[in-house]
Amino acid sequence: MNNCKFCNIREDVQYETESSFAILDKYPVTKYHTLIIPKRHVESYFELTDVEHMDCINLINVIKTTLSKLDDTITGFNVGANVGKDAGQTLFHCHIHLIPRRKNDTENPRGGIRRVISKKGDWQKIMKT
């Protein structure tokens, strides 16, 4: 894809495998927010082959381990992919976010990724109603 930003990345690659690579996010949520990107142009995480999927997962694990050793303030991670416009995907080349988390980086981290839809993150509170 000639106009795809991720297909045309040649520099700033932090990690690379046979079918994927990783770069630091240009608009990071936290320090060391990393994008894991398959080399083959596919729009959706669900279009990855089994080999590409495992390669991305393995790369996530390598980066997680490396970042944990590099920065001892990291105490957790969020991992996620936006699939489709209605899920917030804005760049239509599959990519997976690895977001390092730190103690007190937000007032209330409870619910984590469930908070992508406002007021839906506190599942225990929802269950009581």
Task: Give the tokens for residue 124.
Answer: 């225990």
Cα distances (angstroms) measured from residue 118 to each of 27, 72, 105, 114, 115: 21, 30, 18, 9, 6
Q: Which helix (H) or strand (E) holds 2?
A: none
Name the active-site residue from 33, 41, 95, 97. Answer: 95
The number of CA neighbours under 13 Å toward the Cβ of 65 is 7
Q: Tokens 């297909």: give the residue.
A: 7
95 is catalytic: yes
What residues act catalytically?
A: 95
